[in-house]
Amino acid sequence: MVLATYNIKGGVGKTSAAVNLAYLAAREGATTLLWDLDPQGASTYLLRVKPRIKGGGSRLVRGKTDAGRRIKGTDYDGLDLLPADFSYRHMDLHLDASKRPTRRLSRVLAPLKREYDYVFLDCPPSISLVSESVFEAADALLIPLLPAALSARTLDHIDEVARDSTRRLPFFSMVDSRKRMHRELMESFTAQRPEMLRTVVPLAADVERMGQARAPLEEFAPRGGAAVAFRELWKEIRERLHR
């Protein structure tokens, strides 16, 4: 199953969600792969892997490079990584030069889906050929949303370009429950969007500390509110996916 953490906007918690959810899936015994599609390579950095793909993104999306041979192990049992590469910044151009460009990622992922129970895609923030390819390849989009009025527009834009068969599983991220505005916005927004997940990921210093620890939350702050939230979020996602 292919799950993509995606949002048009940056800075909403996509990478922290991708790393922590992939870690939790692997810890449960599922064979899990995380593909860091963002040229900034944040997931790759957090998992302590060098951000480089031999031959670059062009050969990978054109099928000239075996993706399986570029996969790296991580420090965590059951969790592998297909690293980021700075050449991914040109992936739109590589896809545009290909036949049936929006199906290229699906072709790369096809053999990997036979080897892994879950493939997570940590996506760059954009609406582009890359994101359209992700929509084509993913079984579900995991969409972190800030508790802000513009979040509604984000989902509207995604609805316009994503396939109807691609499930949307949006959830609120970086929430300060002490703020009345956050609480009221989440309540009204959830009433309008029944697909919203119930679990809320809080605004927490532990998430920021992932950059220093270079590890998932469970490895250095398992009792913190953010780690608890991600455990609940993964449980809810699994229930939705297999309902």
pLDDT in tens, 203-239: 999 999 999 999 999 999 999 999 999 999 999 999 9
SS3 72: strand
What is the percent of the chain where pLDDT is above 90?
63
Give me the pLDDT at residue 223, please. 97
Give me the pLDDT at residue 156, please. 86
> Is the C-alpha dihedral spanning 10, 13, 17, 19 positive or negative?
positive
pLDDT in tens, 89-126: 877 776 766 666 677 888 889 999 999 999 999 999 88
Is CATH 3.40.50.300 what the domain over 2-241 is classified as, yes or no?
Answer: yes
214 conformational bin, left if phi > 0, alpha if psi -120 to 50, beta if neither: left
Q: Where are the domains of the chain?
A: 2-241
Give me the pLDDT at residue 99, please. 66
Give me the pLDDT at residue 94, please. 64
The yes-or-no verdict on residue 87 having pLDDT over 90 is no
Task: Indicate the residue type of 203.
Answer: L
| pTM score | 0.94
The yes-or-no verdict on residue 165 having pLDDT over 80 is no
Give me the pLDDT at residue 101, please. 60
Count the alpha carbons within 13 Å of 243 in the hemisphere toward its beta carbon. Answer: 7
